[in-house]
Amino acid sequence: MSFRGFSGTSAAADGSVGKTQVGSFLRPRDDASGVPADVTFKRKRELGLDIIDRAKGWGLPEGVIVTDAGYGVATEFREQLWARTLLYVVGITGDVRMWRGKVTPQPMPYQGFGRPRKARTSTPETAAVSYGLWR
């Protein structure tokens, strides 16, 4: 949904532009390449949500949102699709965990030696779904 330009900016399919880097040292380069001064930084997932909202505003029929892992690994992006009551299929990487229900980290007691253990995040009713079950 976005295309990387040689000027260090990314342009969405509809022509809107978002900076991929921040810093005042980029302003001369942006001026030379024609990037408007009011353009601000936006992440790929934010550009994607903007495009989805724009399409809904135009009255286009809703369908299933299909994205690659570049969008799918961002929990915030998936939560925003869910909040908008949209159907979606997103790619994810192997380090993304799927949980049944709401998960709250449980503190692990410190045993007095070594590195403190990480918080436990699963209980039997909220255990991570195995790869084979949700695939």
Which residue in 47, 51, 55, 48 sits closest to 19, CA to CA? 47
> Quick check: helix, strand or coil at residue 82?
helix
Specify the DSSP element, H or E, that contains 18: strand 17-19
The whole-number pLDDT of residue 34 equals 81
Count structural domains, the chain.
3
Residue at a domain's end among 26, 42, 58: 42
Asked if 26 and 54 sit in the same domain, the reply is: no
Asked if 87 and 116 sit in the same domain, the reply is: no
Q: The domain containing residue 11 runs over which residues?
A: 1-42
pLDDT digits (tens, 9 = 90+) for 105-122: 677 777 788 887 776 655
Beta-bridge partner residues of 18: 10
Tally the residues of the chain.
135
pLDDT digits (tens, 9 = 90+) for 14-55: 455 444 445 566 677 777 888 787 877 789 999 999 999 999
- Residue 65 burial class via C-beta count within 10 angstroms: exposed 0-12, middle 13-18, buried 19 and up: middle
pLDDT range class, residue 2, cuts 50, 70, 90 = very low
- Residue 47 burial class via C-beta count within 10 angstroms: exposed 0-12, middle 13-18, buried 19 and up: buried
Asked if 6 and 38 sit in the same domain, the reply is: yes
Specify the DSSP element, H or E, that contains 66: strand 65-67
Angstrom distance (rounded) from CA 48 to CA 69: 13
Crossing angle for the helix pair 44-57 and 75-83, nearest 10 degrees? 20
Phi and psi angles of residue 14, each rounded to the nearest 5 degrees, phi first: -90, 5
Asked if 105 and 82 sit in the same domain, the reply is: no
The whole-number pLDDT of residue 126 equals 54
What is the pTM (predicted TM-score) of this model? 0.56
pLDDT digits (tens, 9 = 90+) for 55-68: 999 999 999 999 99
Mean pLDDT, rounded, of the chain? 75
Asked if 91 and 49 sit in the same domain, the reply is: yes
